[in-house]
């Protein structure tokens, strides 16, 4: 990597990290604005990959569905009881997707409608579900949500380092057809570093929560495994579209989907585990 590219990548990464952390940590409004932007930007990239010729009017119907989905989850978590009974209102923007296609006179309505709805499910739904990790009846606690991010970042760092050190021979490819540079050495290295992060976080924050330390480790393992699949799936989509990056919003890093591809699978998987074992993740409940 050239020195200039490394500097660009480092600076943009630091800016991205500062904005993300400040939004998550300081106030639920900051969290809401950041992830609303992430949803719309990520959905825009998805539509450009899957349906590059899609008109703006039909994209807007997908954006509106995604925004309303996130807003309903957010208001529910913020403690507004009416929002929990209003998910039926999503039928309005969903109907708009079909109606917009009706007036477009497209020769491929099934593909277009399926693509728009798939984008909402793939991008908007996972981020909308994150409100279940941060808010409940007006209470806001970012720690578990931040822990999931730390697991993902630890996994990425571990996978890169172990892959560079032990996987340089290229004999043990993880999924060569989709991502030739990924190795099994990097895969297991990512798991190890995620578990190490879980040990540190459980030592720092365990007095704030009621669940056993084992859940910290299982969550780390869940995030590492599902996040790897999320990364591979996004690589598959980009490869099918013939592009290297999903977008250019982050110099040196690519697009929103490039930065959050692992999270799209990791967050719902972690939430499913939390619900399955009825884990109390927010302090003070």
Which residue do the tokens 């927010």 mark?
A: 282
**Rounded alpha-carbon distances, angstroms, from residue 136 to 20, 102, 128, 207:** 21, 40, 14, 20
CA distance 9 to 253: 6
Of 63, 45, 32, 53, whose CA–CA distance to 253 is shortest?
Answer: 45
Tens of pLDDT along the chain (285 residues) come to: 555 566 777 777 788 888 888 888 888 888 999 999 999 999 999 999 988 888 888 889 999 999 999 999 998 888 776 656 788 888 999 999 999 888 888 888 899 999 999 999 999 999 999 998 888 777 888 888 999 999 999 999 999 888 888 867 667 888 888 888 888 889 999 999 999 999 998 888 765 554 678 888 999 999 999 999 999 999 999 988 888 888 888 776 788 999 999 999 999 999 999 888 877 665 444
In this prediction the pTM is 0.88
CA distance 16 to 29: 18
Return the SS3 of 284: coil
CA distance 136 to 19: 24
The torsion region of residue 138 among left (phi > 0), alpha (psi -120 to 50) and beta comes to left
Of 271, 239, 234, whose CA–CA distance to 256 is shortest?
Answer: 234
Which residue do the tokens 């992060």 mark?
A: 197
């Amino acid at each position: 990597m050239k020195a200039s590219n490394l500097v660009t990548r480092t600076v943009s990464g630091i800016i991205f990290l500062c904005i993300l952390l400040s939004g998550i940590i300081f106030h639920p409004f900051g969290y809401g604005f950041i992830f609303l932007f992430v949803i719309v930007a990520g959905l825009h990239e998805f539509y450009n990959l899957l349906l590059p010729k899609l008109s703006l009017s039909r994209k807007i119907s997908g954006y509106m569905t995604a925004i309303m989905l996130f807003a309903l989850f957010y208001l529910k978590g913020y403690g507004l009881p009416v929002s929990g009974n209003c998910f039926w209102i999503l039928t309005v923007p969903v109907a708009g997707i079909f109606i917009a296609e009706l007036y477009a006179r497209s020769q491929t309505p099934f593909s277009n409608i399926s693509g728009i709805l798939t984008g909402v499910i793939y991008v908007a739904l996972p981020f909308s579900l994150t409100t279940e990790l941060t808010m409940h009846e007006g209470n806001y606690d970012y720690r578990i949500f931040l822990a999931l991010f730390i697991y993902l970042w630890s996994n990425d760092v571990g996978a890169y380092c172990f892959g560079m050190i032990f996987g340089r021979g290229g004999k043990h490819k993880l999924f060569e057809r989709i991502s030739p540079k990924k190795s099994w050495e990097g895969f297991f290295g990512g798991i190890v570093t995620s578990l190490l992060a879980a040990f540190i976080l459980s030592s720092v924050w365990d007095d704030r929560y009621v669940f056993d330390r084992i859940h910290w480790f299982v969550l780390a393992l869940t995030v590492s495994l599902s996040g790897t699949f999320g990364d591979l799936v996004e690589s598959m989509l980009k490869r099918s579209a013939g592009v290297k990056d999903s977008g250019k919003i982050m110099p040196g890093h690519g697009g929103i989907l490039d930065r959050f591809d692992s999270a799209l699978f990791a967050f719902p998987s972690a939430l499913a585990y939390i619900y399955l074992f009825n884990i109390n993740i927010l302090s003070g409940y």
